[in-house]
Amino acid sequence: MFEYKYTIYNAPNDEIFQRQCRSLEKGVPNIVKGELLHDVDDSRLQFYTHGEHRSVVRNDYYLGAVHVESTEDLTQYFK
């Protein structure tokens, strides 16, 4: 589903999750904030669309990391 995956931080961290969401919202052209899911293990998933592409920022307690997954290469926005 998501071709591009980026580990932002190697542990769940709500502050870093929120900063990463804000960073994408400011940096990715035409991004639209979608649904925020809050899982029973306290993981959070913030979904975005940008044109025909989709991305999700995860504060993932199951995998133990903050990471981003996208259908588009977002490397240029991680400066």
pLDDT value for 77: 84
User: pLDDT per residue over 3-62, tens digit each?
Assistant: 999 999 999 999 999 999 999 999 999 999 999 999 999 999 999 999 999 999 999 999
> Comparing C-alpha atoms, which of 30, 66, 63, 31 is closest to residue 47?
31
Bridge partners, residue 69, by sequence:
5, 56
The Cα–Cα gap between 72 and 16 comes to 21
